[in-house]
């Protein structure tokens, strides 16, 4: 993996963390007024951060597939579980589309791995995860 590609997940993670911090600040100010939308946005940001971590784990698992092929499966399952959490908590059309796109990308990687591809193309997963992070930003 190139140096630029290895830095990309870290940059996304920093963006997600910064966004989460901003969302926490908004939540503290608006919780007293019962702003449900802010709480949903915070849930989205937190779950998107977990997904960013899972995507990083997936990239590492694919790189190390020869040593432990179960890591790839675990990473894909982790992403899917986090996507289910977001999908259950939002009625935002953009978020739902980003979740659907990421689910499709993960399913494609899973199929490729099941068909014996030890180095599946992860760019659709990372792109979809970036889009999800973007739409989860309050």
pLDDT, tens digit, for every residue of 72-101? Answer: 888 888 888 888 877 777 777 888 888 899
Considering the domain boundaries, does residue 70 fall inside one? yes
Would you say residue 24 lies in a domain? no
pLDDT at residue 9 in the model: 53
**pLDDT at position 35:** 58
- Is 28:105 a contact under the CB 8 Å cutoff? no
Q: pLDDT by residue (tens digit) across 8-19?
A: 555 555 544 444
Neighbours of 2 (CB within 10 A): 7
The reply to whether 7 falls in a domain is: no
pLDDT bucket at 40, cuts 50 / 70 / 90 = low
Counted domains in the chain: 1
The three-state secondary structure class of 75 is: helix
* % the chain with pLDDT above 90: 12
The half-sphere exposure of 54 on its side-chain side, counting CA atoms within 13 A, is 23
CATH of the domain at 69: 1.20.120.660
The answer to whether the CB of 128 falls within 8 A of the CB of 100 is no
Q: Which domain holds residue 45?
A: 34-136
């Amino acid at each position: 993996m190139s140096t630029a590609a290895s830095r990309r997940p870290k940059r996304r993670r920093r963006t997600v963390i910064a966004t989460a911090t901003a969302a926490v600040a908004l939540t503290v100010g608006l919780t007293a007024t019962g702003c449900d939308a802010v709480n949903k946005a915070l849930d989205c940001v937190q779950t998107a951060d977990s997904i960013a971590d899972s995507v990083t784990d997936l990239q590492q698992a694919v790189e190390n597939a020869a040593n432990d092929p179960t890591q790839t499966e675990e990473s894909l399952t982790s992403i899917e579980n986090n996507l289910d959490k977001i999908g259950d908590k939002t009625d935002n059309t953009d978020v739902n589309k980003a979740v659907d796109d990421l689910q499709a990308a993960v399913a494609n990687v899973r199929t490729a791995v099941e068909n014996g591809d030890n180095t599946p193309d992860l760019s659709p997963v990372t792109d979809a995860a970036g889009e999800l992070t973007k739409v989860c930003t309050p």
